[in-house]
Amino acid sequence: MINRLVKSMFSDQSILTFSFNVLRRYEHNINNGTYFLYHIKSKEMWTGNRSSFEMLNIIDGKKRLKDIYRESQLVFSDFSINDIKNSINCILNELIAKNFIIILEK
């Protein structure tokens, strides 16, 4: 496995939140857990698995990204912090680019 971090458009100090235009729903009975995000204005849907739900569920508009990494490390203790950061950054890059998540403070 390559152990490098994905470049991101935010920093460890960033505060993130979901856009007001995003509806969220987690279905535990679909594929062992599927997380649905729907952007009302763009009518775009994003789906993730249980792991992405666990990571994204920590975002509350108050915590800094470094705290989200730390809390995710408690949930995913079998993985290194670099693997966790890489996964979170990949998901966040996509969701920020699609306006599902907004950066409140860089």
What's the pLDDT score for residue 3? 43
User: pLDDT at residue 10 above 60?
Assistant: yes
Which pTM value belongs to this model? 0.86
Coil/strand/helix, residue 63: coil
Pair type for strands 44-49 and 34-39: antiparallel
The pLDDT confidence band at residue 12, using thresholds 50, 70 and 90, is: confident
- The DSSP symbol for 56 reads H
pLDDT tens track for 19-69: 999 999 999 999 989 999 999 999 999 999 999 999 999 999 999 999 999
